[in-house]
Amino acid sequence: MVQADGTVAPRPVASSRSVGGQAVIDKGLQVGETVVTDGQVRLVPGVKVQFKNNLSD
């Protein structure tokens, strides 16, 4: 999860199912929170993230 200061923190989540490459998250996130969806393997807690604008999705 991306925190208010732009750094990341791990957060356990629970998904109920996956359809067409998209997961339905049941627990662990609140509306309006920002999550990392690309490049998360390179992250460590506390690192600052850089946002990209991907208009093709």
pTM, rounded to two decimals: 0.68
Phi–psi pair at 41, nearest 5 degrees: -65, -25
Supply the pLDDT for residue 10: 92
Cα angle 37, 57, 8 (rounded to 5 degrees) comes to 20
Helix, strand, or coil here: 23? strand
Beta-bridge mates of residue 18: 23
**Tens digits of pLDDT across the chain (57 residues):** 999 999 999 999 999 999 898 889 999 999 999 988 888 888 899 999 888 776 554
Residues with Cβ within 8 Å of residue 45, at least 6 apart in sequence: 7, 8, 9, 10
Q: What is the β-pairing status of strands 22-27 and 14-19? A: antiparallel
pLDDT at res. 56 = 54
Domains of the chain, by residue range, sit at: 1-52
